[in-house]
Amino acid sequence: MPEAPPIPPPPAAPRPKRGGRVTDRILPPEMRHRVVQEPFLTRVVGPKLEKLAETPGAFASIFRIDDIRVRLLRAGFPMGLRAQTFLILKVAGVLLGAFFFMLYLPILNEVVFWPQFGFAIPLTFLPLVGVLGAFYGFRVPDIWLSTKIRARQKAIQLALPDMIDLISISVEAGLGLMSAIQRISERFNNELSEEFLRTLQEVRLGRTQTDALRDMVKRVDVPDLTTLLTAIVQAELLGLAVANVLQVQSERLRERRSQRAREAAQKAPIKMTFPLVLFIFPALGVVIMGPALIRIMFQQSTF
């Protein structure tokens, strides 16, 4: 009886191409696009800068990575910025600030200083100008982030009285505190509702209600909200009625809003002084004195 022919071995799996991306060889297909979508600076340079900023020494005191994380959190992570990306922006600001300041010094000498004042800044001051530009470029991202923080805190402060009124009414109607916060927050689309929904998410993930509210106080850093949440936490710990606490705090928030409106109205005349002196009074002077000056010039020309 003839022997059966041997079964050929299965074909070997194709080996990855040499020279291809490392992520194509070691990562599964569903994770490759996440890595490729991130820019090179965020994937490579950002972690190195963050590690350098976390090491004790001069770099840690300059970059203050923990402070950057807290400030980004209070600003609501504008434009999806992370601490790594913000460090890259600060380093880029140093380089660009020094470059443009040193670039514009000869131009200012040729266009402004020499034609208008008859002197020019010596080029020996070029390194000093570069240092000033680097310092300015280093501070620009911090100034921008501080502006975002103030704008967000102001928006939270403005939305707080109305939302607390509705939450207080919902609790008095029989809803629990977290249920009332969830129902009211889902009807709004502002910074305060986002913070409340984030706190609710933390509670669902296993955190206690007290810890989640305390974290919200640290995260937002708005005095009125701090007072409100502290009163709620104390009421929960002491077993007091949360509805009464919310009603008292709601009245206090409305009074604070009225006080701020009155203070803004009292400051308005002082703020109007500079525009009046700079813009309105010169225009009135031209309107009043213009015809008289034209008449005087006409009379002099006739003589």
Handedness of CA 130, 133, 137, 142 (dihedral sign): positive
Domain-embedded: residue 200: yes
Residue 23 has pLDDT above 50, yes or no: no
Q: Which CATH number fits the domain that encloses residue 242?
A: 1.20.81
181 vs 154: CA distance, rounded Å: 20
Residues with Cβ within 8 Å of 249's Cβ and at least 6 positions away in sequence, in order, are 164, 168, 227, 228, 231
The residue behind tokens 């191409």 is 17
Short-list 210, 214, 216, 211, CA closest to 197: 216
CB-based contact 190:114 (threshold 8 Å): no
75 vs 152: CA distance, rounded Å: 6
Residue 302 — very low, low, confident or very high, per pLDDT cuts 50/70/90?
low
pLDDT at 34: 46
Burial string for 246-267 (b: 16+ CB within 10 Å, else e) reads bbebbebbeebbeeeeeeeeee
Least confident of 203-207, 244-248, 274-278: 274-278
CB-based contact 130:195 (threshold 8 Å): no
Domain-embedded: residue 234: yes
Residue 10 has pLDDT above 90, yes or no: no
Average pLDDT over residues 129-154: 91
pLDDT digits (tens, 9 = 90+) for 42-84: 555 556 555 655 555 545 556 677 888 889 888 888 888 888 7
Domain-embedded: residue 8: no
CA 111 to chain centre: 37
Average pLDDT over residues 148-171: 91
Residue 151 has pLDDT above 90, yes or no: yes
Residue 287 — very low, low, confident or very high, per pLDDT cuts 50/70/90?
confident
Cα-based angle 37, 40, 46 (whole degrees, multiple of 5)? 110
Average pLDDT over residues 95-112: 81
Token code pair at residue 276: 């009046």
Residue 153 — very low, low, confident or very high, per pLDDT cuts 50/70/90?
very high
Residue 27 has pLDDT above 50, yes or no: no
Is 290 or 159 the better-scoring residue by pLDDT? 159
**Enclosing domain of residue 250:** 152-259
Residue 30 has pLDDT above 50, yes or no: no
Token code pair at residue 232: 């709620």
Average pLDDT over residues 82-91: 84
In angstroms, the Cα distances linking 128 to 49, 63, 125, 137, 207 are 26, 22, 5, 14, 53
Domain-embedded: residue 69: no
pLDDT at 20: 46
Least confident of 8-12, 62-66, 124-128, 138-142: 8-12
Domain-embedded: residue 168: yes
237 vs 144: CA distance, rounded Å: 40
Please name the helix (run of DSSP H) or strand (run of DSSP E) that holds residue 208, with its range, or none: none
The residue behind tokens 């570069």 is 130
pLDDT at 127: 84
Domain-embedded: residue 186: yes
Residue 43 burial by Cβ neighbours in a 10 Å radius (0-12, 13-18, 19+): middle
The DSSP call for residue 263 is H
Phi, psi of 175 (to 5 degrees): -75, 155
Domain-embedded: residue 212: yes
CB-based contact 161:247 (threshold 8 Å): no
Instruction: Work out how many domains the chain is built from and give that number.
Output: 1
pLDDT above 70 covers a percentage of the chain that reads 75
pTM value surpassing 0.85: no
31 vs 25: CA distance, rounded Å: 12
Residues with Cβ within 8 Å of 57's Cβ and at least 6 positions away in sequence, in order, are none
Domain-embedded: residue 83: no
